[in-house]
């Protein structure tokens, strides 16, 4: 008989990863499709890119709502999009 490991929220890892990915995509606070979710033992690993540090933190909030006892390794990077700059001088 196969032995089952304890995973965050007591779900099989592939089901939990899918549920968390769906939540991160559908939750209006995050709405992130490009964040990957993996389960490694009892740790939820987040990987990808977001536009702001606040959105990066909100990813953890959403994960904790679904898996409150989960440890999170947030490897998501913030990619700052440059704001409008000075006008480019194209000459005469």
| Domain boundaries along the sequence of the chain | 8-78
pLDDT at 92: 59
pLDDT at 80: 72
**In percent, how much of the chain has pLDDT > 70?**
76
Sheet bearing 36-40, strands edge to edge: 36-40, 43-50, 71-78
Q: What value does the mean pLDDT take over residues 35-44?
A: 93
CATH of domain 8-78: 3.30.70.1770
How far, in Å, CA of 56 to CA of 10, rounded?
25
Q: How confident is the model at residue 8 (pLDDT cuts 50, 70, 90)?
A: low
What six digits make up the tokens of 42?
């009892």
């Amino acid at each position: 008989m196969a032995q089952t490991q304890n995973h965050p929220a007591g779900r099989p890892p592939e089901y939990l990863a899918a549920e968390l990915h769906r939540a991160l995509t559908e939750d209006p606070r995050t709405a992130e499709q490009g964040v990957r979710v993996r389960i490694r033992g009892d740790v939820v690993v987040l990987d990808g890119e977001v536009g702001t540090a606040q959105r990066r933190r909100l990813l953890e909030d959403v994960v904790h709502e679904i898996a409150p006892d989960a440890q999170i390794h947030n490897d998501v990077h913030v990619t700052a999009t440059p704001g409008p700059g000075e006008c480019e001088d194209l000459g005469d």
